[in-house]
Amino acid sequence: MGSLVGGLYASAPGVDPVARYQAFMQTYVEATKRESSSGGLLGALLVGGLILASGGTALAVLGGAAVGGLLGMSSVDPVELQRLSQVYDRFVGGATIETLPVPYATFYIDVKTGSPSLAAVTEGKLAAGVKKSIANPVIFDEINPVHAGYVDPGLDRIAAVPVRDTCEQFPRHQILAVNVTGKPAELDGVKCPVRVVEIPPPQLSKREIPATLMGKGQRFEQLVATGYRETIRALEQPRRARR
């Protein structure tokens, strides 16, 4: 989810990031309603988006019964990664990473060689890079990592917050690492100044999920406020020294 949100910001840094996220989510939901004959897909979008936003902890938070109650059905159509990528590409105006007004890179796990390794995306279509970074088969069940050749790095604890790899991509920058996994970020081998923003995974009731994912309501506002507060707290702390 970080690559998706980060790309929205990097493609339009002068636009309020909260408003831009809300606009994208609304655009995606409208496209989903137009292109799908099943109401289940919207339910899958809401749960899938929460899993993305929570770093994969949403299933544990909700529990199986709660998910079923939220969707109101025993099964749902999958959230389609291809559709999300197409909507994202249109939303950002077909932007390419190398022409963004803000330097940007994202990561995915490359499984083509049979030995999974973290790979960086630093050029090409922004939407294509985001697609690889959020390709989580738990959410997008049309994804077969072996056939696709890529998978969401969030499935790996260390790759979920790739601080060292980010330092390698931006060696002359100070790094502000936002960690929403609920587990400590891996900082071994980090050789650039870094501060870590620790944000607890969201604890949402099933009633709060739809509005929160859409960027609406009190809980969404609380989560945004928490993000800003913890970021300011991290900026006030001493930087981690180079090793």
CB-CB contact of 186 with 161 (8 Å): yes
Instruction: Say if 241 falls within a structural domain.
Output: no
Instruction: Say if 66 falls within a structural domain.
Output: yes
For 160-195, how does the pLDDT look when each residue is reduced to its tens digit (9 = 90+)? 678 888 888 888 888 888 888 888 888 888 888 888
Instruction: Say if 107 falls within a structural domain.
Output: yes
Residue 162: what residue type?
P
Instruction: Say if 110 falls within a structural domain.
Output: yes
Is the pLDDT confidence value at 61 over 50? no
Instruction: Please give the model's pTM, rounded to 2 decimal places.
Output: 0.77
Report the alpha-carbon distance of residue 178 to residue 180 in Å, rounded.
6
Mean pLDDT of the chain: 78
Taking the C-alpha atoms of 109, 112, 116 and 120 in order, what is their torsion angle to the nearest 10 degrees? Answer: -40
C-alpha separations of 22 from 93, 193, 199, 215, 217 in Å: 17, 32, 20, 5, 12
Domain count, the chain: 1
For 135-151, how does the pLDDT look when each residue is reduced to its tens digit (9 = 90+)? 888 777 777 777 788 88
Residues ≥6 apart with Cβ < 8 Å to 10? 100, 101, 102, 103, 104, 126
Instruction: Say if 243 falls within a structural domain.
Output: no
For 86-130, how does the pLDDT look when each residue is reduced to its tens digit (9 = 90+)? 999 999 999 999 999 999 999 988 888 778 888 899 999 999 999
Instruction: Say if 31 falls within a structural domain.
Output: yes
Structure-token match 């859409």, residue found: 214
Cβ count near 101 (within 10 Å): 11
Q: Which domain holds residue 232?
A: 2-236
Instruction: Say if 242 falls within a structural domain.
Output: no
> Residue 70 in 3-state DSSP?
helix
Report the alpha-carbon distance of residue 48 to residue 42 in Å, rounded.
10
Is the pLDDT confidence value at 10 over 90? yes
Instruction: Say if 34 falls within a structural domain.
Output: yes
